[in-house]
């Protein structure tokens, strides 16, 4: 069975258009390389109840959940509270993180800074030399920061823990309009059920008008489908094949 | 009451990382200018049942729903089917769209092309000289294409129909780390309840380390909060104020 994941982007800054989310695209691409199928991405507000509901639902539906954002020291950082509420556990001050903060800030440590040592009771810490601050894991929920530079560093640590067969991808760039190729693509979909076939029109390119994608974890099935499709398209209409 | 919206991005191509969604950020920014508060963005697969569930829930929760993607002629375009299922209505061939297609393709019209004339029974069409193909509206659900060039053209037509007081936004760029300003920001949040205050750390900028945002539909409240915050920060630490 293919392992599944859901991504929850927490942040009013995305929902109000102040910042464009790039974290979900980054994570999706990385997870795909590790053979994990992302089934859903949600962008939700910095709201305890909404976070709790979404995290609970995602945690039940998917093998892995990744949250991004809302774990800083300010008033609008309520992700930890939301996750604790999702599983009806308390919030505790984690000793390891507290120690780390004392080491860094000494007696200048403020109560706001100390907020980032708070975790849902029962959380695990993933430590690794490449990240200063440990990664917080609660059950199947990886709690990640919203700042892309920090998220990416932490994600590279986590993804090493996954070891699924990767998805294999082929792309065919075709100089033909989608409605023209739709009839035989529809046939191909029926014939190659173990290959995921996608069709994406491209606007403003002179060399190709549609990108057709084929995906599978099985190399043999993938090549069978690829050859079958290529036989149906006149050679001069195939701009290139990738993968 | 502020009008709310939800955005549903439909597409396996986003969930598999082949294409990065830019449509939601575009729509969020535009809706904000028209005073509409986007409360949630979902990215879901090309799956009839998932589309139906998400559209039904969004339609009940928000004033407006925007779907993007899955309305082309290929097998993976199942958005119309999903929306019909959401509201338990049939799918019909729309006469106006059918006529438009006949005019364009004549007797070369294929059954795949004719698929894009299918709408949930009871759908309305929004026509406008600036878009070739009409925009399909079903109850409070605007059904939009996934291709950004087409979506944007259609969205500019729709948004003219909204007439809410806009959100006003101020940004303060501060050369100070977030934990340092967190204590008085938390005070400000309590004091200015009708202004939405956000705090976003910035990495890799020498001029400022945090962007603080203030938002309100009321100009007077906004300026009161802005001045209050500015009084708390030493002038040399304020890099710039925008808005």
Q: What 3-state DSSP class applies to B100?
A: helix
A48-102 per-position pLDDT tens digit: 999 999 999 999 999 999 999 999 988 889 999 999 999 999 999 999 999 989 9
CB-count exposure of residue A99 (10 Å: 0-12, 13-18, 19+): exposed
pLDDT for A1 equals 84
SS3 content of chain A, % helix, strand, coil (to 5): 40, 25, 35
SS (H, E, C) A110-161: CHHHHHHHEEECCCEEECCCCCCCCEEEECCEEEECCCHHHHHHHHHHHHCC
Residue A105 pLDDT more than 90? no
Fold for the domain defined by A169-242: Alpha-Beta Plaits (3.30.70)
Residue A107 pLDDT more than 90? no
In this structure, whether the domain defined by B168-242 belongs to CATH 1.10.10.10 is answered with no
B185 to A43: CB separation less than 8 angstroms, yes or no? no
A207-221 per-position pLDDT tens digit: 999 999 999 999 999
Whether ipTM > 0.95 holds is no
Instruction: Check for a shared fold between B4-159 and B168-242.
Output: no
Q: Which has the closest alpha carbon to A151: A70, A40, A61, A44?
A: A70
Fold for the domain defined by A4-159: Molybdenum Cofactor Biosythetic Enzyme; Chain A (3.40.980)
Q: Which residue in B has a C-alpha nearest to residue A37's C-alpha?
A: B16
Q: Once rounded to an integer, what is the mean pLDDT over residues A141-167? A: 94
A75 to B200: CB separation less than 8 angstroms, yes or no? no
If pLDDT is split at 50, 70 and 90, which confidence band does A129 have? confident
Nearest-Cα distance to chain A for B129, in Å, is: 20
SS (H, E, C) B18-44: CCCCCHHHHHHHHHHHCCCEEEEEEEE
Residue A28 pLDDT more than 90? yes
- Give contacts of B25 with chain A, Cβ < 8 Å: 14, 17, 20-21
In this complex, which of B45, B113, B183 lies closest to A179 when CB atoms are compared? B113
- Give contacts of A32 with chain B, Cβ < 8 Å: 16-17
In this complex, which of A44, A75, A203 lies closest to B149 when CB atoms are compared? A203
Residue with tokens 């403003």: A204
pLDDT for B52 equals 98
- Alpha-carbon distance of A78 to A213, in angstroms, equals 39
Nearest-Cα distance to chain A for B219, in Å, is: 18
Nearest-Cα distance to chain B for A11, in Å, is: 10
B146-155 per-position pLDDT tens digit: 999 999 999 9
Average pLDDT, chain A: 94
CB-count exposure of residue B139 (10 Å: 0-12, 13-18, 19+): middle
- Alpha-carbon distance of B114 to B33, in angstroms, equals 36
Least confident of A112-126, B2-16, B106-120, B227-241: B106-120
- Alpha-carbon distance of A76 to A188, in angstroms, equals 49
Q: Higher model confidence: residue A194 or residue B130?
A: A194
For chain B, the domains span: 4-159, 168-242
């Amino acid at each position: 069975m293919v392992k599944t994941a859901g991504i929850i982007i927490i942040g009013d800054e995305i929902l109000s258009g102040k910042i464009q989310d790039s974290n979900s695209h980054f994570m999706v691409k990385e997870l795909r390389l590790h053979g994990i199928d992302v089934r859903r991405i949600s962008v939700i507000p910095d709201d305890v109840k909404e976070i709790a509901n979404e995290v609970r639902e995602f945690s039940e539906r998917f093998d892995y959940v990744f949250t991004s954002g809302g774990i800083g020291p300010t008033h609008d950082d309520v992700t930890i509270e939301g996750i604790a509420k999702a599983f009806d556990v308390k919030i505790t001050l984690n000793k390891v993180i507290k120690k780390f903060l004392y080491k860094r800030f000494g007696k200048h440590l403020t109560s706001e800074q100390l907020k980032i040592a708070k975790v849902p009771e029962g959380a695990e810490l993933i430590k690794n030399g490449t990240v200063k601050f440990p990664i917080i894991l609660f059950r199947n929920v990886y709690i990640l920061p919203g700042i892309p530079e920090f998220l990416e560093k932490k994600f590279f640590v986590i993804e090493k823990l996954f070891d699924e067969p990767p998805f294999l991808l082929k792309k065919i760039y075709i100089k033909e309009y989608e409605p023209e190729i739709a009839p035989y693509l529809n046939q191909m979909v029926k014939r190659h059920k173990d290959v995921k076939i996608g069709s994406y029109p491209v606007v403003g390119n002179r060399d190709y008008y549609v990108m057709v994608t084929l995906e599978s974890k099985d190399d043999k099935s993938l090549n069978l489908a690829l050859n079958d499709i290529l036989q149906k398209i006149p050679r001069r209409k195939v701009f290139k094949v990738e993968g």
